[in-house]
Chains A and B, each alone.
Chain A
Amino acid sequence: MRELLVVREHIKHFYAKFEVYVTPLLKFILAFVALVMIKNNVGYFPRLNSMAIVLIIALMCSFLPQNFIVFFSAAFSVLHLYKLSYEVAIVAVCVYLLLFLMYLRFSPRDTIVVVLTPVCFALNIPYLMPLVAGLVGTPTSIVSVCCGAIVYYLLSFISGNAGSMLALGEDGSLAKLRYVIDGMMDHKEMLTMLLAISVTVIVVYLIRRLSIDYAWSFAIGIGALMNIVLLLLGDVVYYTNVSIFGVFFGSIVAVLLAMVLQFFVFDVDYSRTEKVQFEDDDYYYYVKAVPKNKAGDIGKKAKKAVVKPKIDDDEDEDEDDDDEDDDVRIVRRTQTATRMQTTPRTTQGSVRPVAGSTRTPVSRPQSTANRQTVRPTTATNATRHSSSSSTTTPQ
């Protein structure tokens, strides 16, 4: 475990150090994978199937804002579909426009999910995105993931029925259009998947926000189970013909990948959980502080960097200056992920405004050993307690 933590720290340091190069590289990989998958599924335009064009576009995407990946992917797919049939391309353009006008305009950041979801579908791990969206997103992420799923099923339906549409001939323009629309509206597998995605995202989101130990692990497990149950129920009710083995295997892989994400985003040690309570002028705070798992080696390296303190002979200075000039100390701190529940305090008969049920504290690193003064909640004097006291090593 310790080695894993060290590896994680190294990865984080590497990313922080070479972010300028790593981020474009990741964007390049994502754009390349997306374009190649479009080419493999609906590659009806021979000129666009050239690997050189795909590489050039992916390279452009690596330096442009990430929304351009979505734009180029959409443009690529529309051009391919246009070569198949312009009626199909019209349907695709309409779907993309509706997605953009009705939702993606609200949250441009989520557009990347619309690319990632079809990529996950194509890699046979479609159950990953609902888990990820529930873990790191909000309930509105449902729409993003569903948009990605709709795009995937649209392209998949067209590539699967291209022969039938071509058989309708050039005279059957309206028939082709109707064929695609009917096919999408009656796509039971897609509708079941959209329902499963929505429920899974909500379940994962609600569970991971609970103030219980191992909330993220429970969220991943229960979310994956919920997804499996809904897909199997959909199969029973609508005969969607989902592969039971595929669902189970895909879910297991999705759970494993979600746990990797958890390791990087929310890795805490519940055995060292601390519960404290204190107060300030307005609130009583009931704080549950869960320390993050950190690799010790990295901390030890930091400890070696000793800075010699300046010796200040002037003793008349204000006490506050001690904090500023003389407190140059190497402090090894354990960062804590805290969740604070606040209760408004009634002062002199007046009720103070109620804060949100959950308050995220200012991200100030603290020592878990000696964090702050703990006061009983019955205290009457409204005293602001400093939450910044920490273990220090005087030089």
Chain B
Amino acid sequence: MLNEKKVILMTKMASYEDTEAKKNGAIGRYFRSDYIGFQVLKAIISATIACMIVGGMFILYDLENILENLYEMDLLLIAKRALFIYIVVVVVYALISYAVYSHRYSRARRKQKIYAHYLKQLGVMYDKKK
């Protein structure tokens, strides 16, 4: 016969399996520090590429002026400023990534725990039936 509680429980579990289980499972395979560290590393690489793109665009934009005044420029000072901006961008982006992926990891783990709890409840229901 139909067991309403069991149907509700299994529907919730099926819904979770269809939507988030795969993604959360992939996240859950990592330790917290490994997952966040890996994502932050990817964020740093992304930020570095983004900085290179912006830097390249800036050089192209002002190329004529740069070529004309190349020997009069204080290249060391420019490099220091560029490095400072790069570090600021990377640090800010890494911090944002850290916050986002910490939250995602916690959420994934929480949902996995809820799913495990549902599984346990379902097991109890089957045991009672026996």
Contacts and interface: CB of A to CB of B under 8 A. Distances in A.
Interface in B40-83: 42-43, 46-47, 49-50, 53-54, 56-57, 60-61, 63-64
A102 B60 contact: no
A102 B46 contact: yes
Nearest to B60: A177
Nearest to A94: B53
A324 B3 contact: yes
Interface in A293-328: 307, 309-310, 318, 320-321, 323-328
B53 A324 contact: no
Contacts of A318: 128
Interface string B97-119: 10010000000000000000000
B61 A177 contact: yes
Contact of A310 (B1, B6, B57): B1
B26 interface: no
Q: Is the interface of B mostly helix, strand, loop or mixed?
A: helix
Nearest to B48: A101
B53 A97 contact: yes
Contacts of A90: 60
A327 B8 CA distance: 14
B5 A174 contact: no
A331 to B, nearest CB: 8
Interface string A95-135: 00110011001100000000000000000000000000000
A307 to B, nearest CB: 7
B83 to A, nearest CB: 19
A320 B128 contact: yes
Contacts of A327: 4
A174 B50 contact: no
A156 B121 CA distance: 57
Given A174-B63, A364-B8, A328 B53 contact: no
A265 B45 CA distance: 39
Size category of the binding interface on chain B: 20 to 34
A309 B5 contact: no
B48 to A, nearest CB: 9
B93 interface: yes
Given A323-B5, A325-B1, A102 B50 contact: yes
A174 B53 contact: no
Contacts of B3: 323-325
A330 to B, nearest CB: 11
Contacts of A321: 128
B29 interface: no
A97 B56 CA distance: 13
A346 to B, nearest CB: 25
Contacts of B6: 324
A328 B54 CA distance: 65
A120 B1 CA distance: 51
Contact of A307 (B2, B42, B125, B129): B2
A102 B129 CA distance: 53
Contacts of B60: 90, 174, 177
Contacts of A326: 1
B2 A106 contact: no
Nearest to B100: A106
A168 to B, nearest CB: 14
Contact of A101 (B50, B64, B125, B129): B50
A170 B43 CA distance: 38
Given A105-B46, A364-B8, A324 B100 contact: no
Contacts of A242: none
Given A106-B100, A174-B60, A177-B60, A324 B5 contact: yes
Interface of A: 90-91, 94, 97-98, 101-102, 105-106, 174, 177-178, 181, 307, 309-310, 318, 320-321, 323-328, 364
Given A90-B60, A328-B4, A364-B8, 6 more contacts: A97-B49, A101-B47, A101-B49, A106-B97, A177-B61, A325-B1
Q: Please name the 3 residue pairs, one residue from A and one from B, whose CB atoms are nearest each other, closest first.
A: A101-B46, A324-B3, A310-B1
